[in-house]
Amino acid sequence: MPEISPDVVLAQLQPIVQEALNEPGITVNRSSNANNTKNWDSLAHIELIEMVESHFKVRFALGELQDLKEVGDLVDLIVEKTAAKG
Amino acid sequence: MLDLDVCSADDILMRRNSLRRQLMATEGLRELRIAVLGGSTMDHLVNILELLLLSNGFRPTFHKGEYGRFYEEAVHESHELAAFKPDLVYLHTSCRNVVNAPPLTCSEADLPGFVEAELNRYREIWDSLEQNVGCQVIQNNFEMPANAILGNMDSVASGGHSRYLAMLNLAFAEEAVRRPRLMLQDVHTISGHIGVRNWFDFDRYFSYKILLQPEANLGLARSLNSMIRAIYGKSRKVLVLDLDNTLWGGIIGDDGVDKIQIGRESPQAEAYTAFQEYCLSLRERGILLAVCSKNNEDVAKSGFAHPDSILKLEHFSAFKANWEPKHLNILAIAEELSLGVDSFVFVDDNPAEREIVRSQIPSIAVPEVGNEVTRYAAIIQAGRYFEPASLSKEDLERAALYAQRSQVVAQQAKFANYGEYLDSLEMTAEIDTFKPVYLERISQLTNKTNQFNLTTRRYTLAEMEAAVADPNSIPLYGKLSDKFGDNGLISIVLGRRTGDALHMDLWLMSCRVLKRDMENAMLDAVVERAKARGIRTVVGYFIPTAKNAMVRNFYAGLGFTAAPPDPALPEGSTVWELDLAMYVQQNTHIKVLEFANA
């Protein structure tokens, strides 16, 4: 898979976040996180991670998930993981 | 909409909330209050179960316990559970929640004590739920351990966990037999089907205490859904079966009863026999069997007179063999049996028949059985349509629940009429004069087609070649493909010109494309070519045989008028004429490919 840019990843994340948070109208940016975003509870978070793994065909390790603080971290991690896959 | 009976966990994951919103809008859903207690985090399972129940006519409200606190919640805090007023408590525990497993050094004499200790914990739970909550309880038994550290000996040694869990499962079964309000969910079998290696998800367990993989949760949810359907009297009761290539191999109308594949003479015959045995075993446990087949009734029935047929006519509660659309026949069967079609399952090897039945009768179950007979039974079983609630559960308020007619979500738009259905098939036909590459198939089809065959004239390959070479002949073949695939070369007409008339020596078609308007497309092609040669009349002949009664009125249906009989033809033959002057193109549903030599 060719390397995806952070902007592309963020754009592809939008419908996934909307579905996971059950908020069809929502848009997130790099500094969005569970505290400043509606409906982002722990269950939605689990589902979101699962959907991201399915969509980008990556698998996060336990430690990687612990370090995620906001959407920007997730975007960077996805870019890194998809690039590493080659 | 997504078919929740067969989709993957991934399919659901990516649009669960959208699906939920859509299904929540359904009207007439039955309220159902379910308390879920678990040894691990149950939210994921509950999410999937909610979708399944919504699509099966229930509107569930859940009370979710804290993970790992099932014992405390059931035994010490049962008043909180009772306050929720559940219709049902589901208690899910796994082998990881077992606390009285024996040590490896356990002796044979001590082993029963460890079983008893664990069982007592659950007895306390079930007793408390029975006395203090008083509703139906569903409890699962155990999967085998993720790591059987003694290998094969794990199932043998008195300290082996596999053996211990098997003993616990047996003890649970005995408890369920004794307790009318306790139903056992057979996780041992469910996890076996899915595979213990695909069962546990330790990444998510250590992160979120979600123990099972998504596919495992989906398997659990589907089995729960079928149990709940059974409790509320919504299990299906009737299996409607097609005949040709479903209950036996081959086309009985063409091949005759002697040639159908059933019995022990070939691998195929054995496979159909096994499927008939499966159907009979369903009947023996109370599922009604019915036939819905496009055939002449006497021909269809002759199949069950085959000496090797496991199924006999008396095993069927309804028998519809005719040429009407199948959904109409199924509705007629429902009326005959005084049962709702929502209790029906329809099995047919033909995807087009499955599609029209599914679209016209949204509440019927139509499993995607494919066309491999060896797969039919497993696919039907996977649908869990006929799940029984045990006899001791009969005292549930069935009558009241029956009254709640299941309002199954219309998962697909109904077609307004048959034409719309035909359009949905996206049919494309290739109609052209015989080509050398097809002569083999043309000759084969001509010589084996018995039902949809107006004259049943047989031709050798040489005679066919001669007919092609004859400038006075119009020999056409038709191929038809649709969105389900290519049906191949399925129709042949052969016209012979005398003066300004075209005599149809041959007109035949394979029954697999019956009622697709292919005959109209063929007639359009004949007329177009006839007109180009200045022909004014097309003359059709029907010569009756033991097998072609279905086309007796074929020409009348195409707008031909009856002409005086021809004494040279066998008795009962009819002659038909079509005046081309006023001819209007008939086919509107099939896209016909154009050819240069048309």
Find the CB nearest A62 among B16, B43, B203.
B203
Residue pair B124/B139 in contact (Cβ under 8 Å)? The answer is no
pLDDT of B400: 29
Find the CB nearest B17 among A19, A50, A65.
A19
DSSP β-ladder status, B427-433 and B473-482: antiparallel
CA neighbor of B28 nearest in space, from B387, B413, B342, B396: B342
CB contact (8 A) between residue A62 and residue B206:
yes
Q: Which of B10, B11, B14 to mutate: most A Cβ within 10 Å?
A: B14
Residue pair B70/B140 in contact (Cβ under 8 Å)? The answer is no
Residue range B137-150, pLDDT digits in tens? 999 999 999 999 99
Q: Can you tell me whether residue B177 is helix, strand or coil?
A: helix
Handedness of CA B445, B446, B447, B451 (dihedral sign): positive
> What value does the mean pLDDT take over residues B6-17?
88
Which residues touch B39 (CB under 8 Å, ≥6 apart)? B67, B68, B70, B92, B93, B94, B96, B97, B211
Using the predicted structure, report yes or no on whether residue B59 has a pLDDT greater than 80: yes
With beta carbons under 8 A apart, name residues in chain B contacting A65. 207
Name the token pair of B255.
């091949």
Residue pair B533/B499 in contact (Cβ under 8 Å)? The answer is no
pLDDT of B414: 65
Residue range A14-72, pLDDT digits in tens? 999 999 999 999 999 999 998 999 999 888 998 999 999 999 999 988 888 888 899 99
Please report, rounded to a whole number, the percentage of residues in chain B having pLDDT higher than 90: 72
> What value does the mean pLDDT take over residues B208-215?
92
Of B231 and B33, the structure prediction assigns the larger pLDDT to: B33
Min Cα–Cα distance to chain A from B203, Å: 7
Residue range B319-363, pLDDT digits in tens? 999 999 999 999 999 988 888 999 999 999 999 999 999 999 988
Using the predicted structure, report yes or no on whether residue B412 has a pLDDT greater than 60: no
Cα distances from B480 to residues B171, B323, B510, B515, in angstroms, run 59, 20, 11, 13
CB contact (8 A) between residue B13 and residue A22:
no
Residue pair B493/B449 in contact (Cβ under 8 Å)? The answer is no
pLDDT band at B438 (very low <50, low <70, confident <90, very high): confident
Using the predicted structure, report yes or no on whether residue B538 has a pLDDT greater than 70: yes
Nearest-angstrom CA–CA distance, B555 and B439? 26
pLDDT of A1: 52
> What value does the mean pLDDT take over residues B190-205?
93
| B516 lies within 8 A of chain A by CB | no
Task: Look at the block and give the residue holding tokens 């299906």.
Answer: B236
Residue range B539-565, pLDDT digits in tens? 999 999 988 999 999 999 999 999 999
> What value does the mean pLDDT take over residues B21-48?
93
pLDDT of B462: 82
* Alpha helices (H) in B103-262, listed in sequence order: 111-128, 161-178, 187-194, 202-208, 214-231, 252-255
CB contact (8 A) between residue A19 and residue B207:
no
pLDDT band at B407 (very low <50, low <70, confident <90, very high): very low
DSSP β-ladder status, B344-347 and B238-241: parallel
Using the predicted structure, report yes or no on whether residue B397 has a pLDDT greater than 60: no
Residue pair B303/B293 in contact (Cβ under 8 Å)? The answer is no
Q: Can you tell me whether residue B557 is helix, strand or coil?
A: helix
Residues of A at the B interface, defined by Cβ within 8 angstroms: 16, 19-20, 22, 42-43, 46-47, 50-51, 54-55, 62, 65
Nearest-angstrom CA–CA distance, A11 and B324? 52
Angle at B50 between CA B48 and CA B54, to 5 degrees: 125
pLDDT of B437: 77
Cα distances from A5 to residues A2, A10, A71, B320, B445, in angstroms, run 10, 9, 15, 61, 59
- Closest residue in chain B to residue A63, using alpha carbons only: B207
Task: Look at the block and give the residue holding tokens 């493909």.
Answer: B481
> What value does the mean pLDDT take over residues B101-128?
96
pLDDT of B441: 81
Which residues touch B263 (CB under 8 Å, ≥6 apart)? B269, B270, B273, B306, B307, B308
- Closest residue in chain A to residue B16, using alpha carbons only: A19
CA neighbor of B241 nearest in space, from B171, B306, B308, B310: B310
Which residues touch B22 (CB under 8 Å, ≥6 apart)? B1
Using the predicted structure, report yes or no on whether residue B395 has a pLDDT greater than 70: no
> What value does the mean pLDDT take over residues B567-583?
94
pLDDT band at B431 (very low <50, low <70, confident <90, very high): very high
| Interface A-B: count of C-beta contacts within 8 A | 32
With beta carbons under 8 A apart, name residues in chain B contacting A64. none
Using the predicted structure, report yes or no on whether residue B411 has a pLDDT greater than 50: no
Give Rg (Cα) of chain A: 12
User: What letters, b where the CB count within 10 A reaches 16 and e where it falls short, cover B51-78?
Assistant: bbbbbbbbbbebbebebbebbebbbeeb
Nearest-angstrom CA–CA distance, B200 and B216? 8
Find the CB nearest B207 among A47, A54, A62.
A62
With beta carbons under 8 A apart, name residues in chain A contacting B16. 19, 47
Please report, rounded to a whole number, the percentage of residues in chain B having pLDDT higher than 70: 95
Which residues touch B244 (CB under 8 Å, ≥6 apart)? B250, B251, B252, B253, B293, B295, B349
| Through-space distance between the first and last CA atoms of chain A, rounded to whole angstroms | 6
pLDDT of B491: 95
Average pLDDT, chain B: 90
Using the predicted structure, report yes or no on whether residue B453 has a pLDDT greater than 70: yes
Which residues touch B115 (CB under 8 Å, ≥6 apart)? B164, B167, B168, B171
CB contact (8 A) between residue A50 and residue B214:
yes
Instruction: Report helix angle A71-85 to A42-56, nearest 10.
Output: 30
Find the CB nearest A51 among B14, B21, B210.
B14
Residue range B476-488, pLDDT digits in tens? 999 999 887 778 8
pLDDT of B392: 34
For residue B540, give the H/E element and its range. strand B537-542
Task: Look at the block and give the residue holding tokens 């998930």.
Answer: A65
Residue range B154-181, pLDDT digits in tens? 999 999 999 999 999 999 999 998 998 8
